[in-house]
Structure 1
Amino acid sequence: MKSFTSLLAWLLMAAVLAVPSFLFYNWWSNSKKQVSAEISQGPGTAPVFQSEGGAPAAQPAEKAPAAQPAAQPAPETAAPAQRPPSAAATALSTAPVQPPAVQPEPAPEAQSAAQPEAAAQQGVEGSTVPKSISHYAPQSERDPTFSPDDYKRLRDEAMRRAEAERMVQNAERYKPREPGPETRVVLQGIVGSAAIINGDMYTAGQTVRGVKIVKVGADYIICDYKGKKFRKVLK
């Protein structure tokens, strides 16, 4: 019984292993045929579509590559001919370079004497520089913003002011003098110790128009005006 069971087990195992082995062998044979077919056809690609009868379809002709424009040769630049160095240049290049001679510094006295001369020269140069000149030369002092009527009005006002000032000066210069005390008192008669002056009776000690009567005589009177005495006689 055990041998039969083991036999079935081995058969089952062989069947299980035979199926993948068969599949692997089928795949390997197909791939080998495909590789051999590709090698026999050469580098060209296999046709995708085949005509009836198994003959391969005609492949379209490959397009010819576009003609490339002819490359233009680059213009050759002529190299300038090198001139042989001249004899002078050769002599200069071969001559030793000498350092510049050191100039002696001027003495302090010479420097102090040269400073006033330089200042005088600068002053002369500054005086010779032309100054800016204005070419504006008005013919008259008339203000262009004023019209002739404005000038006439201003002239009339100036004349009126001058006339008023002249009148004031003349009035102050020829100011009328105040009447004297003699003209203020008019003696018209004498009655006893009273005198008739300007139509009224006055006695000694009274005042008439700022004039004080000091004394009444027989035919005269003596008056005083601001400390000045005078005599009026009856006519």
Structure 2
Amino acid sequence: MGAAMVPGRCMACQTPLHKQTHGFGSFVCTNCQAMIDHLETVRCKRCALTLGPRLQAFGWTHCRHCKPAVENSTPAPLECVVCSDYVAPFDQWIALLKYGNNHGMARFLGYWLGSRVMESGMALPDVLVPVPVSPDKLKQRGYNQAALIARHLGRHIDRPVRNDWLIKTQELGAQAALGREERLQNLQGAFRATRCIPKNIRIGLVDDVITTGATIQSCEAALRKAGAETILTMAVCRTPE
């Protein structure tokens, strides 16, 4: 008589997965799925910052940081989709991949992000470009978590991933103690596109976490300098203000 099949475990909390019928049944348990299902909120369309009740009441679609930039924007403004705020337990899910070497989390996070992008109603990108890490960081960690997420996101939404279209030219050290404007200044020129990008290609810029948006804006500037006009940013989490 054959051995009984051992159920898989929830990617987030390690609870055994028996027969799951919800949308993420092959990845997370019913309890973790319930947390995902209760994440609906109105966010800034450019940086995904949660918009408070007062902003929503006035029908505003962008936060106070992005509203002036969008109003004065000549190219198509940046669009942004995230799955959740960077709070417990979702920050722990990111940490399992980023610091815990748990590559299996990338498959789940990529699937989750892909599902969120399709639910958003935004036009899908033509190609995915992960936010790069410096060569030193890549050698130290052994992998780029944004690239791993992008790989599985691309499989879910059937889009190619281009890891070599954008590079980070320098390692700037920890930015955690810096404010938004300081980060922007610190990141000037830190990223470079490696090729000319046709204007008709919609770029999907993929990251694990958006903190202040400084990294995303620096990557956006590099891609636009190379010719990109339409950019959709996709990240698993967004740090609340």
What TM-score comes out, normalization by structure 2 length? 0.10
The higher relative CO (CA closer than 8 Å, separation ≥ 6) is in: 2
What TM-score comes out, normalization by structure 1 length? 0.11
Give the number of the structure whose residues are more often helix, by fraction: 1
Please identify the structure whose Cα radius of gyration is greater: 1
